[in-house]
């Protein structure tokens, strides 16, 4: 896929995520205000920590009087899933200088990972500018602006849950994840991961549950033999990258100029060989 076209799709996906980030960031601003945070405190946390679930947890812990070592430990466990994201992105960004990679790591979120790695797979290579678009346009700017708005004007909404604002961001992530279910292997991983995550969260803690589900689910999914996986879009191929796209993000192409999955006519998938080639 051409770079310009893939970036256009990336931008549309980022704008869709930005809408949910505004809603979720506004709810965080409300929560921080109710917990006694000043506008400077709340905005500083959004800029420096920049981790939605961890920020919500930290606000609750602080409001409950938990000592700061406990806050740091529990939020670190909650954000441990980003280690998995980093491992997945590392091969694509190994040529980027370390100082810039450090900033990239700070801006890494669930949403930035999903749409940027989809962009990379569509292209078959990394695009550093595309990552910045994914990270900054989709979440960093809208999240911080919404945080400020929530702290300053959110006092007029005493119960945000009544309006369903708290479900916006999780719903957006479910929509992105659903498109990745391309075979029995992914379905098994999703079911096992969700089951383990909920079980551990109920009996131990939500932070540990997220990490446990994120590790056990994919591990069990990998045990499903390829012969019975029935994958319609194997991971790592352009057709699987298209599954990351949000509804309405696909552009119409002239008939016959590309094959299904975003390949040029005659273009082979990674690792695909010509008939008879060994």
Q: What is the structure's pLDDT at 234?
A: 54
pLDDT of 1: 66
> ∠ CA(151), CA(110), CA(31), 5° rounding?
20
Classify residue 261: in a domain, yes or no. no
pLDDT digits (tens, 9 = 90+) for 50-83: 888 788 878 877 877 777 887 888 788 777 778 8
**What's the pLDDT tens digit per position in 102-156?**
999 999 988 888 889 888 988 888 899 999 988 998 899 999 999 999 888 765 5
Share of the chain above pLDDT 70, in %: 70
Q: Alpha-carbon distance 46 to 50, whole Å? A: 5
* Angle between helix 110-123 and helix 3-34 axes, rounded to 10 deg: 180
The predicted structure's pLDDT at residue 32? 85
Q: Between 7 and 208, whose confidence is greater?
A: 7
Cα 166 to its chain centre, rounded Å, is: 17
Confidence (pLDDT) at 159: 60
Domain annotation covers residue 86: yes
Contact call for residues 263 and 256 (beta carbons, < 8 A): no
Torsional sign, CA 125, 128, 129, 135: positive
Cα–Cα dist 129/175, whole Å: 25
pLDDT exceeds 60 at position 236: no
pLDDT reported for residue 274: 46
Within-domain flag for 244: no
Residues ≥6 apart with Cβ < 8 Å to 1: 122, 123, 238, 258, 262
The pLDDT mean for the chain works out to 75
**The pLDDT value given to residue 257:** 37
Cα–Cα distance list, 232 to 79, 251, 257 (Å): 31, 21, 22
- Per residue in 102-117, is it b (16+ CB within 10 Å) or e — as a string? eebeebbbbbbbbbbb
Number of domain units in the chain: 1
In a domain, 105, yes or no: yes
Give mean pLDDT, residues 205-227.
Answer: 78
Domain assignment of residue 36, yes or no: yes
Instruction: Give the residue numbers spanning the domain of 69.
Output: 3-158
pLDDT at 177 over 80: no
Q: Is the model's pLDDT at 35 over the cut of 60?
A: yes
The answer to whether residue 176 sits within a structural domain is: no
In a domain, 163, yes or no: no
Task: Establish if 195 belongs to a structural domain.
Answer: no
């Amino acid at each position: 896929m051409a770079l310009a076209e893939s970036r256009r799709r990336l931008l549309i996906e980022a704008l869709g995520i930005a809408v949910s980030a505004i809603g979720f960031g506004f709810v965080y601003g409300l929560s921080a205000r109710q917990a006694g945070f000043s506008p400077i405190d709340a905005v500083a946390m959004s800029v420096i920590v920049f981790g939605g679930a961890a920020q919500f947890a930290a606000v609750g812990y602080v409001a409950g009087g938990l000592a700061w070592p406990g806050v740091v430990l529990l939020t670190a466990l909650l954000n441990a899933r980003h280690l998995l994201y980093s491992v997945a992105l590392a091969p694509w960004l190994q040529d980027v200088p370390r100082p810039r990679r450090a900033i990239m790591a700070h801006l890494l979120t669930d949403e930035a990972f999903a749409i940027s790695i989809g962009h990379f797979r569509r292209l078959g290579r990394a695009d550093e500018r595309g990552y910045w678009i994914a990270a900054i346009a989709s979440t960093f700017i809208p999240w911080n602006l919404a945080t400020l708005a929530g702290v300053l004007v959110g006092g007029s909404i005493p119960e945000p849950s009544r309006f369903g604002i708290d479900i916006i961001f999780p719903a957006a992530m479910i929509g992105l994840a659903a498109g990745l279910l391309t075979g029995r292997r992914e379905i098994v991983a999703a079911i096992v991961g969700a089951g383990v995550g909920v079980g551990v969260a109920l009996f131990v803690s939500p932070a540990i549950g997220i990490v446990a589900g994120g590790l056990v689910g994919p591990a069990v999914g990998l045990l499903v033999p390829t012969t019975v996986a029935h994958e319609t879009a194997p991971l790592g191929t352009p057709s699987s990258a298209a599954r990351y796209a949000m509804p309405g993000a696909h552009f119409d192409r002239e008939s016959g100029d590309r094959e299904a999955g975003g390949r040029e006519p005659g273009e082979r998938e990674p690792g695909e060989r010509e008939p008879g080639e060994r």
